[in-house]
Structure 1
Amino acid sequence: MMQQIYPQVQHDFCYELNKDMQIAAAHFVPTDAAGKCRQLHGHTYFVNVTVAGDDLDEAGFLVNFQVLKKLLHDKFDHTVLNDHKDVFNDQDPNFFPTTEVVARTMWETIEMHLETLPSKPTCLQVYVRETPTSYCIYRPKKGKK
Structure 2
Amino acid sequence: MYKVTREIHFCYGHRLLNYSGKCRHLHGHNGKVEIELYSEKLNELGMVRDFEEIKQVVQVWIDDNLDHNMILCRRDPLIPALEERKERYYLIDENPTAEAISKLIYDYAVSQKLPVSEVRLWETPKSFASYRK
Assess if the C-alpha contact under 8 Å between 1:51 and 1:123 holds in 2: yes
Between Structure 1 and Structure 2, the one with more strand by share is: 2
- Look up the equivalent residue of 2:16 and give its one-letter code: V
TM-score by length of 1: 0.68
Structure 1 CA distance for aligned equivalents of residues 44 and 70 of structure 2: 35
Secondary structure class of the residue paired with 1:84: strand
Moved more, 99-108 or 62-71: 62-71
- Once superposed, which parts of structure 1, at least 4 consecutive aligned residues long, lie more than 6 Å away? none
Structure 1 unaligned regions, length at least 5: 1-11, 90-94, 115-120, 141-145
Structure 1 CA distance for aligned equivalents of residues 95 and 115 of structure 2: 25
Assess if the C-alpha contact under 8 Å between 1:50 and 1:123 holds in 2: yes
Structure 1 CA distance for aligned equivalents of residues 49 and 59 of structure 2: 14
What's 1:41 paired with? Answer: 27
TM-score by length of 2: 0.74
Question: Of 73, 90, 97, which aligns to 1:84?
Answer: 90
Question: Of 125, 128, 132, which aligns to 1:135?
Answer: 128
Structure 2 CA distance for aligned equivalents of residues 108 and 122 of structure 1: 11
For residue 57 of structure 1, report the CA deviation from its aligned partner: 8.0
Aligned residues: 112
The root-mean-square deviation of aligned C-alpha atoms, in Å, is 2.1
